[in-house]
């Protein structure tokens, strides 16, 4: 039993080209420290804004990679978790008077509950039927939010005037891009570390990979498929909801547009270009797509077409995404 577990652990892709968890962690935090220093050197608030979005999206895509890339569950309700986190955190701040940090923490709990609710019917299905069901949940949520004005969700206009982040008595407005840069980097770095270095390097991660690669074998060695798939939904939803709460307090507004087609397609493109189930592929995909999308803004209507072409070329020449380049170097 122990030998089988160790053999499975050996299959977990190492960070970059490192060979051990300690070394990988050092490389990871060195990169984070470099990004923190870079923030102080950047003098353009617009660049700060783009990188803030990158850090928030890193949490969303890493969480999606956990359930889709590592656990192999075709979940397409990821932005549902993001939306509940954003609305939940905003409403707790506006109506219940919670400080933004407490509201974001509470959003994690809200996300976990929603993940559980979505998981229960999903786990009665298999393969593409899970994808169809979760995508149907995604499509059904915008009309529900639009009808939620009576319970304080703001309807079509969404929620405006969401309280700014409060750090030790200092109000961090969305105008203060440098402080937000460091805040978003801190949240993103901690969440990504917890996902890839704690969850996926532990027993839970071993179970996810075993279920993805050899479902029958995993059950034969005692992996409780229902339990671990449920955990995949809950953990992924929890982290994604934190990203939603962070996004709401950064922008000070949240509307049903966060469930729009463009957001969903962008997330899919990030995973496709970065590579699923191969750290740091998904995270690199976020940097490439968000920054590339901004560089293509001048192309207006052709922007999404160009991104689509990029995905097609990636699938043809890099079937494992950018992460495949690191795999080839090992």
Provide the 10 A C-beta neighbour count for residue 12: 18
Lowest mean pLDDT among 46-55, 91-100, 139-148: 139-148
Residue-wise pLDDT tens digits, 24-82: 899 999 999 999 999 999 989 999 999 999 999 999 999 999 999 999 999 999 999 99
- Chain position carrying tokens 């950018």: 322
- Write down the domain spans for the chain: 41-259
Q: Are 255 and 302 within 8 A, CB to CB?
A: no
What tokens appear for 83 in the block?
């939306």
- Mean pLDDT lowest for which of 86-90, 125-129, 217-221? 217-221
Evaluate if residue 13 carries a pLDDT over 60: no
How many Å apart are CA 87 and CA 255, to the nearest integer?
A: 8
Kindly tell me the burial class for residue 63, based on how many C-beta atoms sit within 10 Å of its own C-beta (0-12, 13-18, 19 or more): buried
Q: What is the mean pLDDT of residues 137-161?
A: 85
**pLDDT tens across 112-125, in order?**
999 999 999 999 99
């Amino acid at each position: 039993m122990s030998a089988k577990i160790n053999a499975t652990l050996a299959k977990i892709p190492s960070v970059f080209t490192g060979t051990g968890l300690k070394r990988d962690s050092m490389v990871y935090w060195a990169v984070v420290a470099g990004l923190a220093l870079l923030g102080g050197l950047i003098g353009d608030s617009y660049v700060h804004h783009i990188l803030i979005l990158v850090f928030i999206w890193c949490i969303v895509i890493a969480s999606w990679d956990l359930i889709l890339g590592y656990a192999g569950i075709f979940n397409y309700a990821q932005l549902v978790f993001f939306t509940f986190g954003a609305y939940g955190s905003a409403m707790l701040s506006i109506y219940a008077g919670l400080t933004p940090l407490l509201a974001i923490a509470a959003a994690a709990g809200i996300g976990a509950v929603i993940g559980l609710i979505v998981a229960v019917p999903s786990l009665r299905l298999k393969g593409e039927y899970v994808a169809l069901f979760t995508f149907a949940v995604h499509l059904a949520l915008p009309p529900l939010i639009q009808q939620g004005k009576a319970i304080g969700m703001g309807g079509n206009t969404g929620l405006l005037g969401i309280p700014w982040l409060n750090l030790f008595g200092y109000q961090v407005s969305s105008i203060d891009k440098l402080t937000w840069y460091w805040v978003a980097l801190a949240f993103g770095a901690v969440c990504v570390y917890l996902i890839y270095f704690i969850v996926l390097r532990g027993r839970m991660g071993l179970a996810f990979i075993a279920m993805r690669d050899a479902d029958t074998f995993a059950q034969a060695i005692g992996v409780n498929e229902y339990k671990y798939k449920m955990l995949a939904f809950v953990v992924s939803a929890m982290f994604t909801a934190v990203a939603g709460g962070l996004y709401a307090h950064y922008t000070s507004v949240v509307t049903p547009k966060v469930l729009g087609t463009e957001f969903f397609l962008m997330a899919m493109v990030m995973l496709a270009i970065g590579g699923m189930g191969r750290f740091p592929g998904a995270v690199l995909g976020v940097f490439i797509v968000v920054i590339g999308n901004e560089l293509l803004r001048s192309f207006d209507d052709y922007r999404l077409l160009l991104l689509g072409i990029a995905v097609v070329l990636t699938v043809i020449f890099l079937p494992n995404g950018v992460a495949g380049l690191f795999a080839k170097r090992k």
